[in-house]
Amino acid sequence: MKKRRLKTNLKWGMDLVVVFSVTFTGTAIATYLWDVITHGAGVPDWDTSFRLALILGIALPFTMAVKRKKRVNKKKKVNKKKKVK
């Protein structure tokens, strides 16, 4: 039980790091390009990049973990029904 919980927490943590870094990088590039196109001076908006990355870095891994847990529970129910028959 403890190994499964540790594995789940590590998976959630890795998802958080990956989503955060991808979102942060993508948003920084997008705001840099937007600034170059509109103002002619390229400066990324670090505040916006960090906020969006923080929000999505927490929200997306959480929803993925909930979906993963539902899928595992559904498989367990199906296996129990097969054993009963």
Render the burial of 20-54: b for 16+ CB within 10 Å, e for the rest.
Answer: beebbeebbeebeeeeeeeeeeeebbeeebbebbe
In a domain, 59, yes or no: yes
In a domain, 85, yes or no: no
In a domain, 82, yes or no: no
Degrees to nearest 5, angle at CA 28 with 50 and 51 = 15
In a domain, 52, yes or no: yes
| Predicted pLDDT of residue 78 | 67
In a domain, 83, yes or no: no
Confidence category of residue 85, pLDDT binned at 50, 70, 90: low
In a domain, 41, yes or no: yes
R_g of the chain computed on alpha carbons: 20
Residue 68 above 60 pLDDT? yes
pTM higher than 0.85: no
In terms of residue numbers, what domain contains 60? 2-75
Domain count, the chain: 1
Tally the residues of the chain: 85
